[in-house]
A and B are shown apart, each in its own frame.
Chain A
Amino acid sequence: MSALGKVVRSGVGRRRVQSLVMALTTFAAVTSSVLSLGLLAIVQAPFDHAFKARNGAHLSVQFDSSKATAAQAAATAHAAGVTEASGPYPVTAALNTAYGADCTGNIVAGMPVAGRASSPVVVATRPDLADTSGLDHLALVQGRWPTTANEIVLSTWDRLCAGGSVMFDSLPGKPSFKVVGQANSLTNTATGFLTTDGFARLTAAGAKTDQQMLYRFAKSGTDADLTTDKQAIAAAAPAGSVESGQSYLAVEKQIVGATKSYVPFLVVFGILGLFLSVLIIAIVVSGAVVSGIRRIGILKSLGFTPWQVARAYAAQALIPATIGVVGGTLAGNVLAVPVLGKASKELGAADTGLPVWVSLVVPIGTLVIVGVTALIPALRAGRMPAVQTLVVGRAPKAQRGRAAQRLASRLPLPRPMSFGLAQPFAKPARAALVGAAVLFGAVSVTFAIGLETAFTKYQDTDTTGFHAASMLVVPAGTPSGFHAPGGGPGSPHLDSTEVAAALASIPGTKAAFGWGNSGATVIGAPTGDHTIVDTTTGDLSWTNLELLEGRWYQSPGEAVINDHLSSALGMHLGDTVTVTQDDKRLPLRIVGIDFDGGSDGFVMTDNATFTAGGLTPYITQFNVKLADNTSGSDWSASAAPALAPLHAETAPNITYPNPTVLTMAALVATLTLMMIAVAALGVLNTVVQDTRERIHDLGIFKALGMTPKQTIAMVLTSVSLTGLIAGLIGVPIGMAVEKATLSQMGSALGRNMPPSVTHVYTPGILLPLLAGGIAIALLGALLPAGWAARSRTATALRTE
Chain B
Amino acid sequence: MTNEPMIDLQDATKKYDDGPPALAGVSLSVAAGECVAILGHSGSGKSTLLNLVAGLDKPSSGTVTVNGTRVDQLGEAGSAKYRRASIGMIFQFFNLLDDLTVLDNVMVPAQLAGMGRLEVKRRAIELLTSLGIDRHAKAYPQRLSGGQRQRVAVARALMNRPALLLADEPTGALDSRSAEDVRRLLLDLNDEGQTILLVTHDIQLAANTARRTIELVDGAVARDVVNTVSGATSNSSAGASR
> Please, how many angstroms separate the alpha-carbon atoms of A171 and B81 in the complex?
94
Instruction: Indicate if the CB atoms of A797 and B99 lie closer than 8 Å.
Output: no
Q: List 18 A-B contacts (CB under 8 A).
A: A397-B98, A401-B99, A402-B99, A405-B100, A409-B100, A422-B99, A426-B99, A700-B97, A704-B84, A704-B89, A705-B109, A706-B80, A707-B76, A707-B81, A708-B77, A790-B76, A793-B56, A794-B57
**Which B115-142 residues have a C-beta within 8 angstroms of A?**
140
Q: Which of A661-685 contact B (CB under 8 A)?
A: none
- Contact status B77-A415, CB under 8 Å: no
Residues of B31-79 at the interface with A, using a CB-CB cut-off of 8 Å, are 47, 51, 54, 56-57, 76-77
Contact B81 A703 (CB under 8 A): no
A702 adjacent to chain B (CB < 8 Å): yes
Contact with B along A780-800 (1 / 0, CB 8 A): 000000000110111001001
- Is B101 engaged at the interface, CB distance under 8 Å to the other chain? yes
Q: Is the interface of A mostly helix, strand, loop or mixed?
A: helix
Cα A406 to Cα B103 with chains together (Å):
11
- Closest residue of chain B to A709 (Cβ to Cβ) is B77
Identify the closest chain A residue to B111 (Cβ): A415
A409, A697, A704, A706 interface centre (most CB from chain B within 10 Å): A704
Pick the contact of A705: B93, B98, B112, B140 (CB < 8 A): B112
Check if A414 is an interface residue, CB within 8 A of chain B: yes
Whether B101 pairs with A406 at a CB distance below 8 angstroms is: yes
Interface residues on B, range: 20 to 34
Task: Give the Cβ gap from A397 to chain B, nearest Cβ, in Å.
Answer: 6
The CA-CA distance from A399 to B98 in the complex, in Å, is: 8
Answer yes or no: A416 CB below 8 A from chain B CBs: yes
Is B112's CB under 8 angstroms from A416's CB? yes
Cross-chain contact A415 with B108 (CB below 8 angstroms): yes
Interface residues of B (CB under 8 A from A): 47, 51, 54, 56-57, 76-77, 80-81, 83-85, 89, 91, 93, 95-101, 104, 108-109, 111-114, 140, 156, 160
Q: Which chain B residue has the least Cβ–Cβ distance from A397?
A: B98
Give the chain B neighbours of A399 by CB distance below 8 A.
Answer: 98-99
Within the complex, what minimum Cβ distance (angstroms) separates B86 from chain A?
10
A203 located at the interface, meaning its Cβ lies under 8 Å from any Cβ of chain B in the complex: no
**Contact B76 A789, beta carbon cutoff 8 Å:** yes
Residues of A within 8 A of B84 (CB): 704-705
**What's the Cα separation between A793 and B91 when bound, in Å?**
13
A405 in contact with B109 given A700-B95, A704-B156, A707-B80 (CB within 8 Å):
no
Neighbouring A residues of B100 by C-beta, 8 Å: 402, 405, 409
Determine the chain B residues whose CB is within 8 A of the CB of A790 once the complex forms. Answer: 76
**CB of A710 closer than 8 Å to a CB of B:** yes
CA distance A399 to B96 in the complex (A): 14
B89–A703 touching, CB < 8 Å: yes
* Chain A residues closer than 8 Å to B51, beta-carbon distance: 794
Q: Could you tell me which residues of chain A, from 590 to 627, have a CB within 8 Å of some CB in chain B?
A: none
CA separation between A414 and B108, bound complex, in Å? Answer: 11
Which residues of B lie under 8 Å from residue A705 when comparing CB positions?
80-81, 83-85, 109, 112-113, 160
Q: What residues of chain B lie closer than 8 Å to A800, measured between beta carbons?
A: 93
Q: Given A426-B99, A704-B108, A790-B76, does the pair A402, B113 have CB atoms closer than 8 Å? A: no
Interface residues on A, range: 20 to 34
Contact A702 B111 (CB under 8 A): no
Minimum Cβ distance to chain B for residue A125 (Å): 88
Q: Which residues of A contact B54 (CB under 8 A)?
A: 703
Contacts A422-B99, A705-B81 known; list 11 others, CB within 8 Å: A401-B99, A402-B100, A406-B104, A414-B114, A700-B95, A702-B80, A705-B80, A705-B112, A707-B77, A710-B80, A789-B76
Residue of A nearest to B47 (CB): A794
How long is the Cα–Cα vector from A703 to B95 in the complex, in angstroms? Answer: 10
Closest Cβ–Cβ distance, residue B114 to chain A (whole Å) = 7
Distance between Cα atoms of A762 and B35 in the complex (Å): 69
A residues 691-706 in Cβ contact with B at 8 Å: 696-697, 699-706
CA of A797 to CA of B57 in the docked complex: distance in angstroms?
12
Among B54, B101, B111, the one with the most A-chain Cβ atoms within 10 Å of its Cβ is B111
The interface residues of chain A lying within 8 Å CB-to-CB of B109 are 704-705
Task: Give Cα A217–Cα B112 distance, bound, in whole angstroms.
Answer: 81
Give the one of A706, A793, A800 with max B CB within 10 A.
Answer: A793
User: When A405-B104, A790-B76 are in contact, do A703 and B112 touch as well, CB less than 8 Å?
Assistant: no
| Inter-chain contacts of A704 with B (CB < 8 A) | 83-84, 89, 108-109, 112, 156
A790 to B104 CA separation, bound complex (whole angstroms): 25
- Whole-angstrom distance between the Cβ of B226 and the nearest chain A Cβ: 29
CB distance from A487 to the nearest CB of B (A): 73
Kindly supply a per-residue 1/0 record for chain A positions 756-800, scoring 1 wherever the CB is within 8 Å of any chain B CB and 0 otherwise: 000000000000000000000000000000000110111001001
B160: nearest residue on chain A (CB-CB)? A705
A531 CB → nearest B CB, Å: 72
Residues of chain A lying within 8 A (CB to CB) of residue B93? 800
Assembly CA distance A789 to B77 (angstroms): 10
With a cutoff of 8 Å between Cβ atoms, the chain A residues found around residue B85 in the complex are 705
Among residues of B, the one whose C-beta sits closest to the C-beta of A710 is B112
A794 to B54, CA, bound (A): 10
**CA separation between A670 and B189, bound complex, in Å?**
65
Residues from chain A with a CB closer than 8 A to the CB of B101 are 406
Report B-chain residues with C-beta under 8 Å of the C-beta of A703. Answer: 54, 56, 83, 89, 95
Interface centre among A405, A415, A696, A793 (most CB of B within 10 A): A415
Q: Give chain B nearest CB distance to A252 CB in angstroms.
A: 63
State A397–B84 Cα separation when bound (angstroms). Answer: 27
Give chain A residues whose Cβ lies under 8 Å from the Cβ of B95: 696, 699-700, 703, 797
Closest 6 CB pairs of A and B: A705-B84, A415-B111, A707-B80, A794-B56, A707-B77, A793-B56
**Measured CA separation A792–B16 after assembly (Å):** 14
Shortest CB–CB separation between residue A696 and chain B, in angstroms? Answer: 8
Residues in B whose Cβ lies below 8 Å from that of A708: 76-77, 80
Contacts of A406 in B (CB 8 A): 101, 104
Min C-beta distance of B152 to chain A, whole Å: 13
The residues of A that contact B96 with a CB separation of less than 8 Å are 700
* Minimal beta-carbon separation of B177 from chain A (angstroms): 25
Q: Which residues of A contact B156 (CB under 8 A)?
A: 704
